[in-house]
């Protein structure tokens, strides 16, 4: 069995003010006790303050999205280089909320992921099927197409993480069966091997996301091809987030 270090990444989405930094600091303080990597992808407005206030642990501060260009006349947008300057070390791209609400396609996500990597940061590329696609038996076709077209040429096992998030499971309290999760993750790793080679496929971490809670994380983390989690609402409270992280020790 390949030894890949677990990554538990929190996605705060559009939540968090300056007074939320106390939760970030609590997570940071406990992160040094864990064997897994911990990351919090925060709103842009508090990234720098969070970065400046952590010091005791090994918490990684991240962002949730970026523009694919380094700079330019793109009102309201922020580049990977800017987020790096603010203290981010990892950036999420391709989250289903970006794909659905802002009509981001695989080509754009590939460009964003490439920009993140070229900035010297780690990228988390999100993929996942809708409930309708699942019911039609299209899960593997959908996620493999998303992965094949979203992953940059320059991706490797260190600079890229894949997060499988079934859209119908996000924030609903519903999750696929353990067999379904392992089946999808196994298929994704096989595809990475076909695209990048076995060595990179064995190193690249594939996270599960979608209603991950302290009461279901342990069983998910026991699956062979699951290397951690992308956590939504449960990452907003340090107790819940650390409760999940403790289960992958």
Active site residue 68: no
Q: What are phi and psi of 24, to 5 degrees?
A: -60, -45
Do 120 and 84 contact (CB within 8 A), yes or no? yes
Do 194 and 216 contact (CB within 8 A), yes or no? no
Query: CB-based contacts of 192: which residues, under 8 Å, 6+ apart?
Result: 147, 151, 162, 200, 201, 204
| CA pseudo-torsion sign 235, 111, 165, 157 | negative
- Candidates 81, 104, 129, 165; catalytic one: 165
Q: State in Å, rounded, how far the first CA of the chain is from the last one.
A: 16
- Candidates 23, 95, 97, 104; catalytic one: 95
Beta strands per DSSP E along 45-164: 60-63, 90-93, 122-127, 160-164
Q: Which of 180, 99, 193 is nearest to 148 (CA)?
A: 193
The token pair at 195 is 């695209």
Catalytic residues: 95, 165
């Amino acid at each position: 069995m390949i030894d890949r270090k677990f990554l538990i990444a929190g996605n705060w989405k559009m939540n968090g003010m300056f007074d939320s930094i106390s939760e970030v600091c609590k997570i940071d303080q406990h992160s040094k006790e864990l064997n897994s990597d911990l990351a919090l992808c925060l709103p842009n407005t508090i990234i720098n303050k969070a970065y400046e206030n952590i010091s005791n642990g090994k918490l990684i501060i991240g962002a949730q999205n970026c523009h694919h260009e380094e700079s330019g006349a793109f009102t309201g947008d922020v580049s990977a280089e800017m987020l790096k300057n603010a203290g981010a070390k990892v950036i999420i791209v391709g989250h289903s909320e970006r794909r659905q609400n802002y009509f981001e396609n695989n080509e754009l996500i590939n460009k964003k992921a490439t920009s993140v990597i070229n900035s010297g940061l780690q990228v988390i590329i999100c993929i996942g099927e809708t409930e309708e696609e699942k019911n039609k038996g299209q899960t593997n076709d959908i996620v493999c197409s998303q992965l094949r077209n979203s992953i940059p040429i320059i991706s490797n096992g260190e600079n890229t993480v894949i997060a499988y998030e079934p859209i119908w499971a996000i924030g609903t309290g519903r999750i696929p069966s353990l067999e379904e999760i392992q089946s999808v993750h196994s298929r994704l790793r096989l595809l990475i091997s076909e695209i990048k080679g076995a060595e990179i496929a064995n190193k690249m971490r594939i996270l599960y996301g979608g209603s991950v809670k302290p009461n279901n994380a342990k069983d998910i983390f026991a699956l062979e091809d699951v290397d951690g989690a992308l956590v939504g609402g449960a990452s907003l409270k340090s107790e819940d987030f650390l409760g999940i992280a403790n289960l992958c020790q």
